[in-house]
């Protein structure tokens, strides 16, 4: 009975199929009503599955957008911090806070200050070449990402056209 439902064109499997004529459309129907129900259920399940994937992708994009905005806000705040030197990309700067509440950047680390550090240490940041700031604890990870992108950009070989899905490198 279910053999007739395996294909949406059951003419190839006419065993037990209903044959009916629809005068208005001039089409012969070879589909069982139970097969239509199964097809409808399958289509609904398939659409639900695809929509779930899209919803997860939207959620991921929203999280990425939120992170971009948080990083941009942090970067803007850090660029407005007092600094009595010319900031150069690639250098690490140490953020301190005076008793007055004023924040400032220094090139002297808390370790270099030792016990004579005059102000509260708030954190360390690396100024990137795109003028974004990377927190000290993320520098190694960010440098690895940048290095990988630099390698990709420096390759003289053009990427081949992709005509089919390629999952190489996506598995663990």
3-state secondary structure 36-96: HHHHHHHHHHHHHHHHHHHHHHHHHHHHHHHHHHHHHHHHHHHHCCECCCCCCCCCEEEEE
Q: Return the pLDDT at 132.
A: 97
Q: Answer yes or no: is pLDDT of 134 > 90.
A: yes
Q: What percent of the chain has pLDDT over 90?
A: 60
Answer positive or negative: Cα dihedral of 41, 44, 45, 46. positive
Question: Which stretch of 58-67, 87-96, 132-141, 156-165 has the lowest confidence by average pLDDT?
Answer: 156-165
Residues in the chain: 172
Q: Return the pLDDT at 19.
A: 44
Within 8 A by CB and 6+ apart from 31, the residues are 4, 8, 10, 17, 18, 39
- Which range scores top for mean pLDDT: 19-23, 94-98, 153-157, 160-164? 94-98
Spatial distance between the Cα atoms of 124 and 135, rounded to a whole number of angstroms: 6
Q: Which of 32, 26, 24, 44 is nearest to 8 (CA)?
A: 32
Q: Return the pLDDT at 24.
A: 56
Q: Give 43-60 pLDDT, tens digit per residue.
A: 999 999 999 999 999 999
Q: pLDDT band at residue 18, thresholds of 50, 70 and 90? A: very low
Q: Mean pLDDT, to the nearest integer, of 113-121?
A: 93
Structure tokens at 104: 């400032």
């Amino acid at each position: 009975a279910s053999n007739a439902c395996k294909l949406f064109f059951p003419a190839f499997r006419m065993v037990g199929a209903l044959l009916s004529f629809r005068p208005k459309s001039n089409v012969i129907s070879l589909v069982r009503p139970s097969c239509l129900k199964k097809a409808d259920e399958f289509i609904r399940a398939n659409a639900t599955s695809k929509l779930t994937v899209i919803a997860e992708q939207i959620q991921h994009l929203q999280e990425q957008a939120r992170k971009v905005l948080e990083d941009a806000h942090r970067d803007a705040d850090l660029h407005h911090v007092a600094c009595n030197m010319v900031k150069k990309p690639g250098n690490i700067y140490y953020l301190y806070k005076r008793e007055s509440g004023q924040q400032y950047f220094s090139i002297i680390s808390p370790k270099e200050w030792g016990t004579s550090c005059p102000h509260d240490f708030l954190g360390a940041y690396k100024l990137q070449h795109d003028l974004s700031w990377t927190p000290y604890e993320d520098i190694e990870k960010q440098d690895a990402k940048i290095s990988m992108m630099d390698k990709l950009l420096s390759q003289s070989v053009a990427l081949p056209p992709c005509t089919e899905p390629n999952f190489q490198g996506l598995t663990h």
